[in-house]
Structure 1
Amino acid sequence: MRIVGGKAKGTILLSPAGKNTTRPTLGRVRESIFNVLANVGLEEAKVLDIFAGTGAMGLEALSRGAAEAVFIDRTTSDIIRKNAERCHMSGQVKVIVRDVTPALKLLGGKSFDYIFMDPPYRKGYINEILKEILSCGICSDDAIIVAEHSVSEAPDLSLFEDRLDLWKEKKSGAIVVTYLRCRTTEGV
């Protein structure tokens, strides 16, 4: 796996050895996501990568001009830090080594322009994590949440209709990438 665009393009990323503890976003899916986001711009953005795994999503954003990235992953913090070093981005990276819910609570008071989330499939996490993101108030005005999920567990947008709008959705085989635009004020 490697960074597909920007100043760190071509940098090979480390992955955890042994069991399949992570499910990295495929390069073609990642490239598609960042082609969509290029239309709204990443320059100087603050990004959050939840269930970060190798850190590929946040590092890709940094490579393409984002200012800083926060990564949340309970088990792969060393890999994320090493990958940030490989990409010469260590100074732009913060890694939180906790479960997602307590980590998100730690971020209260900060705001992010892009939030990437790729929770484990078939665990029912997607709505739970969206609820937590919104309750922590970490979305900047018009923030975009990029949620990768299986076709069988799309977010239930009726639960969030006062705070989230479906911006785009793209299917690639059994994977769906849903782009949600945040509203910081309910009903606006």
Structure 2
Amino acid sequence: MKIIGGNAKGTLLSSPAGRNTRPTLGRVRESVFNVLANVGILETKVLDIFAGTGAMGLEALSRGAGEAVFLDKATGAIIRENALRCHVADRSRILKGDVSSSLKTLRGQKFDYIFMDPPYRKGYINEVLQEVFDCDLPAEEAIIIAEHSVSEPPDLSLFQGKCQLWKEKKVGAIVVSYLQCR
């Protein structure tokens, strides 16, 4: 897997060996960043939840985001290695605890883009979205980019007044939902 655009374009990313990591497909990442390029990514603050290899946050940094925070309890060393390879370690922060605890340590910090790719078929998507809002993490007009299975969309009725579906893109059994925060 490689970074597909920006200053670190072509940089090969390490993946954890033997783990059930499901990196976001290159064509999905390309689609996401084509959408975000129209909104603006320069000097933004990014949160990458269930970061895995860190590909989403690193792609954002490569394309000009100012800072990224990565949350993953198991792959912090891989994310650090990948940030060094992409020459963005100075703009990266990695939190290695469980997602819920890590989100609480970020309470009140504001993020322009929040990427989340929770494990599928575990019911995490609504739980994590609730924690993101409870911790007051979205900046004004933030966009949450949630990757999920077709069978497990976010229940937006739980988040009325906090966000609305802005865009949705289906790629096979994967859906990327773009949630515009209010």
- Give the TM bin, normalised by the shorter chain: over 0.9
List, as ranges, runs of 4+ consecutive aligned residues in structure 1 with deviation greater than 6 Å. none
Q: 1:36 aligns to what SS in structure 2?
A: helix
Distance in 1 (alpha carbons) for counterparts of 2:84 and 2:107: 27
Q: Does 1:99 align with 2:120?
A: no
Deviations 1:76-131 (A, max 9, x none): 00000000000001100000011111100000121000000000000000000000
Match of 1:161 in 2: 160
| TM-score, normalised by the number of residues in structure 1 | 0.96
Take 1:88 and 1:30, find their aligned partners in 2: how far apart are those partners? Answer: 20
State the AA in 2 paired with 1:2. Answer: K
**Number of corresponding residues:** 182
Equivalent AA in structure 2 for residue 52 of structure 1: A
Secondary structure at the counterpart of residue 39 of structure 2: coil
Task: Structure 2: give runs of 5+ residues left out of the alignment.
Answer: none
Displacement of 1:162 = 1.3
* In 1: Cα distance, 2:113 partner to 2:133 partner: 13
| CA RMSD after TM alignment | 0.6
- Paired with 2:8 and 2:144, the residues of 1 have a C-alpha distance of 23
3-state SS of paired residue (1:11)? coil
Partner SS state of residue 129, structure 1: helix
> Quick one: distance in 1 between partners of 2:109 and 2:130?
17
Cα distance, 1:17 vs. partner?
1.0
Equivalent-residue separation in structure 2 for 1:23 and 1:35 (angstroms):
21
Identity across the alignment (%): 69
TM-score scaled by length of structure 2: 0.99
Q: CA deviation at 1:161?
A: 1.3
Q: CA deviation at 1:154?
A: 0.1
Tell me the distance in 1 between the aligned counterparts of 2:97 and 2:76: 10
Cα distance in 2 for partners of 1:138, 1:126 equals 16
Distance, in Å, in 2 between the alignment partners of 1:21 and 1:88 is 27
